[in-house]
Amino acid sequence: MTAPLRSDAVRVRAPGKLNVYFEVGPLLDDGYHAVASAYQAVSLFEDVWAVPANDFRLEVIGSVDVSAVPLDDRNLALRAARILAQHTGYEGGVHLTIDKHVPVAGGMGGGSADAAAVLVACDALWGTEVGSAELQRLAARLGADVPFALMGGTAVGLGRGDRLSPALATGRFEWVIVLAEGGLSTPAVYRELDRLRTRSAAIGHPSTGAIRLAPTAGPHDDDADPVVATGVLHALRAGDAEDLAGHLHNDLQEAALSLRPELSDVLDLGDRAGALAGIVSGSGPTVAFLAADLESALELQVTLSAAGYSALHVHGPVPGARLI
């Protein structure tokens, strides 16, 4: 084992993410779902400081409500530090401080970004030098979104979302995100999706809700893993926001709207205010609007803010977890 990189604080920044496309396969026997996602890392960041300690300690601050963030081993960030120490045989600890700006339980992968940042920070602080490929393997043990938070940019995720392949995206995409009060439990949203699909199958016709309940990337075999629609990849590759707007899709959206009906009002307002398209981010309740250009995004942000919503302008793609 090499000597630690430095004896004082290490700082790492990691991005939140948007799922510009998210297709969910049927419920499997193990209680999970196969998914197909097109991720884009966006310019809403988490900052993590790591300093040497004899044990493992965590404190959390930030511009968002962090009152519900656990400070014990339920927190992915603390688990990330322990996993890296166990994997490398490091016998010390770390004091972690997380400065959160990605909404908690908001569908933007803030907790996963924290975990990715901690892996990078502790690897640098401790001098363990496990390498990016090994960090990715450790990240996959922590959750489906953690490997993407390490990678950043734009990527396709298959399986549980952790089988990643970089996707070419040219140019810059402008987004306006609307933060909601309170979070949504990802397992609860998946349970609601399964309930809605079961009800839809029982009555013999598809739901008439705001988004499709069944995967729709083309003719679909229920036993086959979902895939990302090719139109999404073409639009990303071309850097064409208008084309991408026509392909935004989230199978979890109707479930999120069922649990939080007021999100429909946000989507309607963004549509009337000139967004190219709007979508619930991941399991929600954050809503993301794609804008045609920077000027349009700023105008949309002003309109949504004037209506009383907490609206932020972000852009993507941006890099994954990195030392600052």
Whether residue 207 is predicted with pLDDT greater than 60 in this model: the reply is: no
Q: Give yes or no: residues 149 and 26 share one domain.
A: yes
Average pLDDT over the chain reads 91
Q: Which of 59-63, 173-177, 213-217, 242-246 has the lowest mean pLDDT?
A: 213-217
Is 151 labelled a binding residue? Answer: no
Whether residue 105 is predicted with pLDDT greater than 80 in this model: the reply is: yes
End residue of a domain, out of 149, 167, 185: 167
Q: Give yes or no: residues 148 and 190 share one domain.
A: no
Residues known to be catalytic: 17, 145
Is 92 labelled a binding residue? Answer: no
Average pLDDT over residues 86-115: 96
Query: What's residue 126's pLDDT?
Result: 96
pLDDT tens for 171-188 read 999 999 999 988 899 999
Q: Give yes or no: residues 177 and 163 share one domain.
A: no
Task: Tell me if 124 is assigned to some domain.
Answer: yes
Higher pLDDT, 79 or 221: 79
205 confidence band (pLDDT: 50, 70, 90): low
Query: What's residue 316's pLDDT?
Result: 97
Query: What's residue 204's pLDDT?
Result: 67
Is 109 labelled a binding residue? Answer: yes
For residue 295, give the CATH number of its domain: 3.30.70.890
Q: Give yes or no: residues 136 and 209 share one domain.
A: no
Is 110 labelled a binding residue? Answer: yes
Query: What's residue 216's pLDDT?
Result: 35
Say what the pTM is. 0.89
Whether residue 267 is predicted with pLDDT greater than 70 in this model: the reply is: yes
Q: What residues have CB less than 8 Å from 124, skipping those under 6 apart? A: 5, 6, 10, 12, 50, 323
For residue 103, give the CATH number of its domain: 3.30.230.10
End residue of a domain, out of 167, 202, 231: 167
Q: Give yes or no: residues 150 and 61 share one domain.
A: yes
- String of DSSP letters for 121-153: HHHHHHT----HHHHHHHHHHH-TTHHHHHHBS
d(CA 110, CA 60): 12
- String of DSSP letters for 244-292: HHTT-EETTHHHHHHH-TTHHHHHHHHHHTT-SEEEE-TTSS-EEEEES
Whether residue 210 is predicted with pLDDT greater than 60 in this model: the reply is: no
CA dihedral in degrees (167, 171, 177, 182; nearest 10)? 30
Q: Which range of residues forms the domain containing residue 247? A: 173-316
Query: What's residue 32's pLDDT?
Result: 84
pLDDT tens for 110-154 read 999 999 999 999 999 999 999 999 999 999 999 889 999 999 999
Q: Give yes or no: residues 35 and 149 share one domain.
A: yes
Q: Give yes or no: residues 184 and 58 share one domain.
A: no
Higher pLDDT, 230 or 215: 230
Report the domain count for the chain: 2
